[in-house]
Structure 1
């Protein structure tokens, strides 16, 4: 079930979202019909899923009555998995630079609504929300819901404009190592596929051929950043 809470900004179903990825990850997605969701405590940013300083001070007040709270939260964190997307009406040059290499890579364009429809599993608690970028030394993160800490990041990451699908797989008895792969309807998830604007022609032809051979129906677009100059 997708939950909503008035304390956080919930993106509408028509919000346009993007995922920038390399060819190997894209092929894995197409071949397996499964989308990878990373375990929340395995992100490169060690602040992921942790508390801000004001929040931690509030939690310390509660530990007298509930001394096991922090240990329980740390254990639960291992069963929270996340799929990260970039919210934007347009292609992002910065995202191409950050998430792809060697002028090769792909960008999946979708919407929140289509991504919800595409998710076939897991049948677990899920939350869709925009990430809030805050000062961890000064600002409070609400902690009356276990999902909330995963919707906050440091201001240094503000350029990401991130939207997250957060899933609690605690009750599914899964072996969550680096993350889990969840079954997904590819044609419902991908509205358009954009190929890196600086990629070579052989790379473009390869991507188009692979998609056609595998029988997928989504549109492959020329990158807007590759448009001809008018002068």
Structure 2
């Protein structure tokens, strides 16, 4: 279930467009399972995920001098926070295609902030929040630690191009151990507004995706990306 947290920043307009770029196998897994995968925060490629900036870390170290469990908790907490990353953009992104799809058989899910919020209502066991990522200088700027989600909603400025919004959940209170991540129930028809197919894909691939989606009982609008459209002169 989606919960609102007043401490977490989010675009005010629920119609703000968001995207998720993924390969065909992950897309089919989403449709077949009707579950969205959230990755364990310490499994991301960026080793700074879920950590603090230098000014904040120095403050936490001082607070931990007489309470070493305080710092130890923050270090292990990353294993209990799971994240699904989405990209805020009114239009599809050429850079995102290149970074998040390995070949010409990738897909992009187009959705909105409001759709994400409604889609998450299907999950009854785990609570999720949605937050926009802040991009800061980790050597100079301060990350507040009065909210347990803040370390997971800040990234280094070199990642600003991602314009990321995150579905995020903390399973610390649950007596479960996760390896790579966690799957949660979602309303697929709410989650997905439209599907775009990789700009370099062949026509047979578009037909295949349309057929697969139809056989699985969905009727999303599916389009070939227009980033490779013929030039007009």
- TM bin, normalised by shorter chain, reads over 0.9
Aligned to 2:215: 213
Whole-angstrom distance in 2 between the partners of 1:190 and 1:30: 10
Report the number of matched residues: 230
Aligned to 1:154: 156
Once the two structures are overlaid, the 10-residue window that deviates more, 166-175 or 88-97, is 166-175
TM-fit CA distance, 1:79: 1.0
Aligned to 2:201: 199
Whole-angstrom distance in 1 between the partners of 2:124 and 2:58: 35
Contact 1:11 1:128 in 2 (8 A): no
Match of 1:163 among 165, 169, 177: 165
TM-fit CA distance, 1:223: 1.4
Give the TM-score of the pair, scaled to structure 2: 0.93
Once the two structures are overlaid, the 10-residue window that deviates more, 125-134 or 159-168, is 125-134
Whole-angstrom distance in 1 between the partners of 2:15 and 2:126: 23
TM-fit CA distance, 1:176: 1.0
User: Gaps (5+ residues) in structure 1?
Assistant: none
1:55 and 2:56 equivalent? yes
Aligned to 2:79: 78
Q: Secondary structure at the match of 2:68?
A: coil
TM-fit CA distance, 1:122: 5.1
Aligned to 2:29: 28
Q: Secondary structure at the match of 2:128?
A: strand
Contact 1:91 1:224 in 2 (8 A): no
Across the aligned residues of Structure 1 and Structure 2, the Cα RMSD in angstroms comes to: 1.5
